[in-house]
Amino acid sequence: MIKKSTLILICVALAISVDSAPPEIHDFWHFPYLTEVDHNLTIRANVTDPDGDLMGVYLDVVLPNGTNDFNLPMTEISPGIYQRFYNATQRGTYDYRIHAVDTALNNNYSNWSQFFVVKFFTYSDNVIINVYVKAACCGMISYFYVPDKVLQNQTVLFLYVFKNCGNIPLDWRMNYIKVVNSTGGVIMNRMGPGLPSGDMKPEDEVFYWEIWSTVGVPLGNYTAIGETEYSATYETGNITFGNFSELNSTANCTGLDAENRTNCTEILDMSCKLYPKTDIITVETTNVSNATVSGMVNGSTAYFGGPLNINGTLYYAYTFNMTSCGEYCYSCLSEDTNLSSDECNYEGYIIDKVRYEVYDVQSDGKNVSFRETEEICDYTMVTYNCVVYGNGSADCNYSKYCYGRVREDKKFEIVAQIGAAPSPQPSPQVGPYPLIIREMPPQINQEPGCDSNDPWNTCTYTTNRLIIYNMGIADLTDPRVLDNFTMENCSTSDCSPVAYRCVNSPDYSCSTFQSGSRYYVEFNITSPIRPRHYKILEYEIVPAINRSIYTSTNISYYQFNASVTFRDITPRGGGESFTIYENDPYYNPPESKRMEMRDVQAFNYDLSVRSNGSWDRRDFFTVEATTFNLTVFSITGMGQTSDSWSARIPILPYWNISSCSAPVGYSCSITSTELILSGVNTPATMTSLLFQFTANVDIESFFLLPVNKTLGPGQREEYIPGLFTMSREIMWRNITIEIEKEIEKEVEKEVEKEVEKEVEKEVEKEVEIPFNVTLPELEMAIDIKPIEREINGTQGVFIASIFNITNIGNVPADNITLIPIVPEGWEYKTAIVSYLNVSETTNRTIFVKPPYTAVGKFAIPVKAVRGNLTLDIDYFWLNVIKAVNVSVLEIVEAPRVIQMGPNSNVTVPILLRNTGKVRLHDIMGRLENSELCTDHYHFTSITLLDPDEVKASYLTIKSKGKPARCPATIIFGSREEAYAFSDLEIIVTPPPPLIPAIPKVNLLLVLLIFAAILFAARKGKERERIRRMRREQRIFRILMYLIISIVISIIIYMAFSLFGFPELV
């Protein structure tokens, strides 16, 4: 038998287990900020337990190589303070958190934090460095405009911009634009020097354009090729050789003429690149092959065809369906089925072994086309005109000369003028849209003691970050990011990286692989990215070990390029996959994707915001001062030197920086235009310095902060360190108001009887006293922002602009109207937000219609108004172009009012007509400002709508369960961005009552009934007499009264029907 005491203990234990609260982790920290390899780091945490049943506090650590040290016990050194010494055995970034558990097995975990382990150098030396700036002859195509679609029998403009990216003037250039068809035939070839004429100074640009008519040109795919040849003579002079053989041994000289004169040519520098020729070679690959390559889709079929004769050798062409692109996009040229990486490449890249470009792989893999490449070289040379004397000496006139060529290809399609179906393109106005922002240093150096067997502890390495920011209005679903880099230029035979690895994060899974000379890092982001949110992806690279690469005058560099593949699951996207590349002209300039290996004082940067852990590491509020952490990582490849350095961060007009701090031995300062960080010594490689500054910003947006770091005389490093999102915080201010309120009820009755007996019992009485009340300040605040800051539109049609509206106040907002402010003669359509709760966000569409006389770029302000109060104002840019082949959609018939009961369904047709000149595709509908009335709704889509054709889209609505009235808007849009809209009032009526209401009641009839009741009551004395009447008399009397009442009621009803009835209901 179980004792009573045992049962009590069990019950108490169960009660404790059920009611026990988890431990509370108040704070945790570590010191020092940096530590060396094989040195101890102190980690402390402030942990308490409300129930006093704390069982243990533990430390969890994730090492740089991805291994874990979990459940390391911490020791309590004082009440609530726990400590652990941790020995760091690897160099790099460590993630750690605190884990607390009580006797009831309640667990609590802190947020993850980081500490850094570096390698310090204890020696120093004085080094004299002589820097010579080498003459650099450089040209680049900074802009080449070719439209994706060109209408047949129309004219098209090709715009071409060439830039002098070197440090010497160019005295000659020639620009070429040619168009080739799908078989490689040249159908247009133009040339010219461009404008302005004359020499091009460094950083100058020339513009060259051609107008081409497509009359008579067949429909199909074409390629526009832009190319520029350039040269410069940058130095001339005289030189005497004591022995002509000195020159003849290094230069290529002609024989002596009759006057003992000779001409010599010496190549000082040469770099070559492969460019595809215009001829296209097509191979049918319809045969099934058992060949395999790494990365192909499991279970997919490989095809081959050929052979193809290349320089007397027969090669077979193979095609593969790859997981990285979801279709056949990979091809090989090989003599057999034993395929190597240098025999294969993706579409658009060159196969190294045979130097053929994979031009196009058919999506089903049964056809592939190639282009042979040619080597185009840039070189610097010296020409000598010499007179050779009998003693072997020579007097020479020399000229230093450079020459180069750059080229860029753009594909386009010639389509029919009417009815051409443009391929669907993602747009931030209608769905998700990722933006790629890269963070990496533009230069890196390598230390002499780098050991390839232990690169992560002995070599200089750097972090490469990719920020994926969703600019669209819908979730970015299943984003897969593929980054790749290759040695674009190498001054030696091998510039391959020593190692590269992923940085672990719960936000993504990451893998690395190599194909030939190209290195890949693949990220699969684990959750969708919401609109106006981002994810930071990181991996690390150890550059080449050969020190001669860094000291050579030939600059060696890695070239990077990333892409994001995602699914658009919005109704318009229909689950289709899209790929966005790292080629935005503003956020992805060419210099942001290039890392040079140079013997310079190179640095990497990382910016973060100190937050409470509930926000991403680069989010902060616009209205409160925020502390920024700017960590500077030395990747100089050398120990500490006495060379001074400085980093300058330009301050944007919206930013207000109030203070800054620097580590010991370094300094920071603030001006009205920039934040300056500096040091008298350059820290040793792989050492990090933590600078901090406090700032806030006046408006909501996201910004890039450019950093310029001085490298030496005439050299400057330009670097983009980061993306920051800014949002306005809902500020709850505690306002203390003193309310002096007297007690209203007084005691009116005095105690008349004296108490003679002492009362032993104490009496407690509650008495109201004046008190202080803390009330939050109530504030209605709305923030509006365009989904896309700049849009394009056509004259004479309504153009849609979607705005995001957020309630940033602390009270619900209602009856908000968005009003565009347009020039005179324009039309517009406003948008309404009937109700928006605190912290909620929604989208609304406004429309503007420019007249046919308007053309150019216009700024359209939009204000959010409630009554006579303007809550916020923002703007968007509108590029108005002339009306050609206008896409116009019209709503022919739609209901103006829909009345329905609670929790009911209704379906109504809406007729649409294409009143434009071109066929419309994928017409979708949506409702705005119906949230209070509709539980959900659905529009049937229209796939095709030809000019002047009328089709119906059916709208199905399910109402909410309570009465409401919503001034909604029906909006239809096509893939061509043709829009139509119509106002619709949705009324959800209350449910019918249990007793139906009488619509109209005759007031006089009611009064007569009451009068009859009173009259009957007053005649109560006659009841006895009536009872004495015979049965026949009573029946006759009742019938008479009934007939008279009916006649009187009919007469009254007819009379008041002519003059009206007073309504009671």
| pLDDT, tens digit (0-9, with 9 covering 90-100), for 698-707 | 544 455 554 4
**Res 585: pLDDT:** 67
Q: Provide the pLDDT confidence category of residue 619 given band limits of 50, 70 and 90.
A: low
pLDDT tops 80 at residue 346? yes
Q: How many CB atoms lie within 10 A of CB 721?
A: 21
pLDDT-above-90 percentage for the chain: 22
* 11 φ, ψ (degrees, to nearest 5): -65, -45
Per residue in 945-1002, pLDDT (tens digit) is: 988 889 999 999 999 888 888 999 999 988 878 889 999 999 998 776 544 444 444 5
Q: What's the CA gap between 1049 and 1037, in Å, rounded?
A: 18
Q: Which amino acid is at 908?
A: V
Q: How many CB atoms lie within 10 A of CB 14?
A: 10
Residues 6+ apart with CB under 8 A from 589: none
Residue scoring higher pLDDT (813 or 13): 813
Burial 931-965 (b: 16+ CB within 10 A, else e): bbbbeebebbebeebebeeebebebebebbeeebe
Q: Which amino acid is at 271?
A: S
Tell me the angle at which helices 1031-1059 and 1003-1018 cross, rounded to the nearest 10 degrees.
Answer: 150
Q: Which amino acid is at 382?
A: V
DSSP 324: T
Most confident by average pLDDT, 543-552, 581-590, 964-973, 1055-1064: 964-973
On the 0-12 / 13-18 / 19+ scale of CB atoms within 10 A, 188 is middle
Helices (H), 907-958: none
Name the token pair of 714. Answer: 């005439």
CB–CB of 484/541 below 8 Å?
Answer: no
Location of structure tokens 């206008």: 886
pLDDT-above-70 percentage for the chain: 80
Per residue in 203-212, pLDDT (tens digit) is: 888 888 888 8
User: Taking the model in full, what pTM does it have?
Assistant: 0.41
Residue range 1057-1063: mean pLDDT, rounded: 54
Residue range 385-393: mean pLDDT, rounded: 89
* 447 φ, ψ (degrees, to nearest 5): -80, 150
